Structure 1
Amino acid sequence: MSKRFKGESLRDILINLKYYSSIAVDLAMYSLAFRDNLAAIEVLKMEETIDDLYKEAIAKLIIAFRSTTYLQQALGLISIASSLDTISDAAGDIASVVLRGYPTHAYITAIMCHGEAVGLVKSRKHYKGVPARVDVLLLKRGDRYEIAPRTESILEDDVIVVRGPIEEVLEVARTLGEESLSKEKCGLEVSMQALGGDALALTLLSLKAISRSMLDLAFYSLLSNDKSIADTVAEMEVYADKLYHELLEHLFTTSYPGRSSEMVSLAVLTKSLEEISDAALRISNVIRYGQYAQVMSHVVSEGEEAYTRVKFKLREPLSLRGLGLEDRGFIPIAIYREGDWIAPVSSDVQIKSEDEIILKYYRVGEEIRILEELRERGLEPIR
Structure 2
Amino acid sequence: MEPDVAYEPVSVKDVLSEMKDTAELLIDLSYSAVLSGSDEVAQEVLALEERMDVLQLQARMSLLMAARSPEDAEQLAPVLGVVGAAEKIADAAGDIAKVVLEDIGLPDAMRAAIPEATEALVRVVVDADSEYVGRTLGGINMETENGVRVIAVRRASQTGKRAWITNPDKDTEITAGDVLLLRGLDEGLETVYETATGEPYELPAPADQPIEDLERAVDSIVTMKDMSELAVDLAYGSMLFNSEGVAEEVAELEAEVDALKSRFEAWTLQAASRVEDPVELRGLVHLASATEVISDAALEISEGVLRGLDAHPVVAAAVEESDEVIVRLTVDADAEIAGHTLGELELGTETGMRVIAIRRPGDETSWVISPDASTDIAAGDVLVAKGTRAGGERLSALAGDPLAFDT
**TM-score greater than 0.5 by the shorter chain:** yes
The letter for the 2-side match of 1:118 is L
User: Which of 299, 313, 319 is the equivalent residue of 1:281?
Assistant: 299
Matches within 5 A, 1:317-356: 317-320=339-342, 332-334=356-358, 343-345=367-369, 349-352=375-378
Q: Give the equivalent residue in structure 2 for 1:21.
A: 23
Give the structure 1 partner of residue 181 of structure 2.
161
Cα deviation, residue 72, structure 1: 3.2
**1:93 paired to 2:95:** yes
Task: Say whether 1:358 aligns with 2:360.
Answer: no
Q: 1:197 to 1:58 in 2, by over 3 A?
A: closer
- Name the CA shift for 1:89/1:242 in 2 (closer, same or farther; >3 Å): same
SS in 2 for 1:23: helix
Check conservation: 1:33, 1:104, Cα contact below 8 A: no
From 246, 261, 270, the counterpart of 1:244: 261
2:214/2:268 contact within 8 Å kept: no
Q: Which has the larger radius of gyration?
A: 2
CA offset at residue 111 of structure 1? 5.4
- Using the alignment, how far apart are the partners of 1:31 and 1:50 within structure 2? 18
> 1:29 Cα shift?
2.3
Superposition map of 1:153-302 within 5 A: 153-154=173-174, 160-163=180-183, 198-255=215-272, 259-293=277-311, 295-296=314-315
Equivalent position SS for 1:18: helix
- More relative contact order in 1 or in 2 (CA 8 Å, sep 6+)? 1
Q: Please tell me the residue identity of whatever aligns with 1:137.
A: A
| 1:297-344 CA-partner distances (Å, limit 9, x unpaired) | 6888999xx766598986673344777999xxx67223599xxx9734
Tell me the amino acid that sits aligned with residue 99 of structure 1: L
Correspondent of 2:152 among 131, 137, 158: 137
Q: Which amino acid letter does the alignment assign opposite residue 151 of structure 2?
A: V
* Alpha-carbon offset, residue 231 of structure 1: 1.6
Q: How many residues are treated as equivalent by the alignment? A: 360
SS of residue paired to 1:276: helix
TM-score (norm 2): 0.66
1:278 to partner: Cα distance: 0.4
Question: Separation in 2 of the partners of 1:148 and 1:112?
Answer: 29
**Once superposed, what is the RMSD of the aligned Cα atoms?**
5.1
The one-letter amino acid paired with 1:161 is: L
Please list every run of 5 or more consecutive structure 2 residues that lacks an aligned counterpart in the other structure: 349-353, 400-404
Q: Quick one: distance in 2 between partners of 1:54 and 1:275?
A: 18
- CA shift in 2, pair 1:356/1:270, >3 Å: closer
Change (3 A) 1:52 1:316: closer
The whole-number CA distance in structure 2 between the counterparts of 1:8 and 1:218 is 25
Shift in CA distance, 204/33, structure 1 to aligned 2, threshold 3 Å: closer
Q: Distance in 1 between matches of 2:191 and 2:63?
A: 47
Distance 1:129 1:138, change over 3 A: closer
CA contact (8 A) 2:75 2:309 kept: yes
Identity of aligned residues (%): 22
Specify the SS of the correspondent of 1:7. coil
Q: Are the aligned partners of 1:222 and 1:296 in contact in 2 as well (CA < 8 Å)?
A: no
Aligned partners of 1:185, 1:242: CA distance in 2, in Å? 32
TM-score, normalised to structure 1, is 0.70
